[in-house]
Amino acid sequence: MSANELLHAAGQSLWLDNITRKMLDEGDIQKYIDTHAVTGLTSNPSIFDKAISSGYYDEAIRAKATAGLSGEELFFELAIEDLRRAADLFLPIWDRTNGVDGWVSLEVSPELAYDAAATAAAATDLHTRAGRKNLFIKIPGTPEGLPAIEASIAAGIPINVTLLFSADHYEAAADAYLKGIERRIAAGLNPDVESVASVFMSRWDNAVAKSVPDELKNRLGLAIGKDVYRSYRTLLESDRVQKIVAAGGRMQRLLWASTSAKDPSAPDTLYVSGLAAPLTVNTMPDVTLNAFYDHGAVGEMLPANGGDCDAVLEQFAAAGVDVAALAQKLQTDGANSFVEAWQQLLGVINSQVAKVNP
């Protein structure tokens, strides 16, 4: 068995953090399903920005511009077309696992990150337009996004909570999810609404690379991961979650995101081998997925009690790293970077539209 298959057999889902129309047309995504144990897919504005900037979508953009579409409306038409195709590829997995796996994700406009009402409305609209039961709508887990997550789950919309960085962020996102499920139970509705909570990993180590001693480099992300996983396992075993399970619901799954190593001196599979754990998802770009397939190794699973994370985090505190403050900065910076990618993406689309409608 490949390392990917061994990791999947250990209880972790491997998802692809990429999508392009070219990958769909040339069968790359189906190949990853068939050979690399991939059981789902995620996307974000940065991924679509790179894909559309490649020029591969120019003809489709011109056709839609001729039909009168522009800006966000045109982009979402392109994205939904791609994600429908991807969702159909993963649907047999979704059916086989009863909705545990086989998901794809589409993000709401990043410019809505601080507007809860508009975010919830956009989530409902995009999910309805896509018309695929195995499509997550991604909502940032910012403080302003949490009410939108709760409202969307209460409305029965499957949600991928994104831009989480710490155990505190995760717990707030999980609480919003559980509140949404509890509202459905109180209203006599089906509580089985799927969700994942996406915690970004490699950005931690990238943020402190120049400010900590060599012995602490590339250790913060995994320590944060252990801390988050401890919170996750504690919540899984709580009375609150068990009551929901007894009512027919299920727990939101923990997803590791941003799992490509940014430091060239670090192992390229650092955030795959180091975050192996049952009941979780690891979504990774092609380069990391292929690296793990080629030379990855599955070691010990993450400890449910957090292992040495407290001791390691104390070392970072002694080195001057304020983890809580850094988590907030990473979330804010992440939201801003997605807005920048979004604006660049719309700029590319609008330039193509201008050529058609000068």
Contact 161, 130 (CB under 8 A): no
**Which amino acid makes up residue 243?**
K
Evaluate whether 86 touches 27 at the Cβ level (below 8 Å).
no
Q: How far apart are the first and last CA of the chain?
A: 56
Catalytic annotation present for 138: yes
Element (H, E) at 160: strand 159-164
State the pairing for strand pair 195-200/159-164: parallel
What single DSSP character describes residue 109? P
Nearest alpha carbon to residue 240 among 286, 201, 182: 182
Q: What count of other Cβ atoms lies within 10 Å of the Cβ of residue 319?
A: 14
Q: In what order do the strands lie in the sheet with 280-284?
A: 38-42, 12-17, 280-284, 253-257, 195-200, 159-164, 135-140, 104-107
Distance CA 199, CA 103 (A): 17
Query: Residue 351 forms beta bridges with which residues?
Result: none
What is d(CA 216, CA 117) in angstroms, rounded to the nearest whole number? 42
- Give the burial class of 5: count Cβ atoms within 10 A of its Cβ; 0-12 exposed, 13-18 middle, 19 or more buried: middle
Q: Which of 31, 50, 138, 217 is catalytic?
A: 138
Which residues are known to be catalytic? 138
